[in-house]
Amino acid sequence: MSSLILEKVSYQYQQQAVISDLDLTVAHNEIVCLLGASGCGKTTTLKAIAGLIKPQSGRIAIHGQCVSNKQFFVAPQHRNIGMMFQDYALFPHLSVFQNIAFGLSKLNNSERNTRVAQMIELVRLEGLEKRFPHELSGGQQQRVAIARALAYKPNLLLLDEPFSNIDTQVRFQLINDIRSIIKDQQVSAIFVSHSKDEAFAFADKLAIMHEGKIAQLDSAKTLFQKPKTKAVAEFLGQGIYLDAQRYNGQSVTTQFGDVSSLITLSQSQTSGQIYVRPQHLELINDPQGDVEIVQQRFIGTDYVYHIKVADQQLEVPAPAEQLLDTTKPVSLKIKAHAVNFFS
Ligand SMILES: Nc1ncnc2c1ncn2[C@@H]1O[C@H](COP(=O)(O)OP(=O)(O)OP(=O)(O)O)[C@@H](O)[C@H]1O
């Protein structure tokens, strides 16, 4: 059974539509990251799932139970959802133990003590039970927040930018730790982030939001190799479009020669464009070349060439030992890769 289903959910603030006919399914024990440009409706989607806002239309079901449709609305406190926000929202006047115990009022004293002790062990905060939030590091506060969110065994965990206040040095260790905790507890989670790197490290699948909808929900690898739309391809990283002809399922022809594709290209149209990222490009000196080098920068181990081609600009790294003579004409070689072809 899916942990979460959103069907044609729409929400507008005043007259402005923010999410429209949004569909999303999260499988049992799956972590999905909502990614998208600022203001595209990620937090609004999270709020609709939590029940903090009521969608004007559509249906939301958690663990097979409808929690929101046109006639029916379950209040947030009855949705069995754990939430964790950017600022962790810990109660400053409560100790670590009391913060984690906060949502466990239905348990008797002994059950509550046992459950809090289990959570403290899970997030490895033994010995810090009596400390107050201001006596903890950012990472420790984040562990308290996750322990509190998981303590009452929610069906679903919602995390809004949970790692944005954490120092980059320890962020990825914490992301790994918290991912293992969530996986051990067999909870499904939806996570909002601005950072693709965080999403790759933390989530099983990424839901790319665009124009109020989920443009694509897939693993990071599938999104990179088979983006369904140009918006998805562009969101995942800078590149350039080049006109291309698909002449069989394995390659395309461009002005810079043939490019082998590591995935089969089965689009119905043969003519279109490919979206090429810097890592698939090699710059070479070529008397016929017409690539403009706007700037050359040395960044330690590599050079970065700022190039202009087909009226688009891109930064392409190249190893320092393959020094390019920028006084001579330059062309591109496109390496074999999983070609993003748009017909
Ligand atoms: N209470 C509100 N009243 C009116 N408009 C709002 C309100 N909250 C959000 N919006 C608008 O709705 C849109 C979506 O906001 P939302 O917070 O969901 O975006 P987001 O994708 O989470 O953005 P960010 O990545 O910047 O956090 C934005 O244009 C925002 O200005």
Same domain, 202 and 123: yes
Asked whether residue 230 is assigned to any structural domain, the reply reads: no
* pLDDT, position 53: 94
**Full residue range of the structural domain in which residue 190 is found:** 4-225
31 and 179 part of one domain: yes
Mean pLDDT within 318-329: 85
87 and 193 share one domain: yes
Question: Is 232 within the bounds of a domain?
Answer: no
Write the CATH number for 263: 2.40.50.140
Q: Does the beta carbon of 233 lie inside 6 Å of ligand 1?
A: no
Residue 188: predicted pLDDT:
94
Confidence check: pLDDT of 222 > 90: yes
- Interface ipTM > 0.95: yes
Q: Would you say residue 226 has pLDDT above 80? A: yes
Q: Is 15 in the pocket of ligand 1 (CB under 6 A)?
A: no
Instruction: Using the 3D structure, point to which of 176, 203, 225 is the last residue of a domain.
Output: 225
Q: Are residues 102 and 185 in the same domain?
A: yes
pLDDT digits (tens, 9 = 90+) for 44-80: 999 999 999 999 999 999 999 999 998 899 999 899 9
> Is the CB–ligand 1 distance for residue 43 below 6 Å?
yes
SS3 of the chain: the string is CCCEEEEEEEEEECCEEEEEEEEEEECCCCEEEEECCCCCCHHHHHHHHHCCCCCCEEEEEECCEEEECCCCECCHHHCCEEEEECCCCCCCCCCHHHHHHCCCCCCCHHHHHHHHHHHHHHCCCCCCCCCCHHHCCHHHHHHHHHHHHHHCCCCEEEEECCCCCCCHHHHHHHHHHHHHHHHHHCCEEEEECCCHHHHHHHCCEEEEEECCEEEEEECHHHHHHCCCCHHHHHHHCCCEEEEEEEEECCEEEECCEEEEECCCCCCCCCEEEEEECHHHEEEEECCCCCEEEEEEEECCCEEEEEEEECCEEEEEEEECCCCCCCCCCEEEEECCECCEEEC
Instruction: Please determine, for residue 267, whether its predicted confidence score (pLDDT) is greater than 80.
Output: no
Q: What is the mean pLDDT of residues 2-28?
A: 94
CA of 234 to the centre of ligand 1 (A): 22
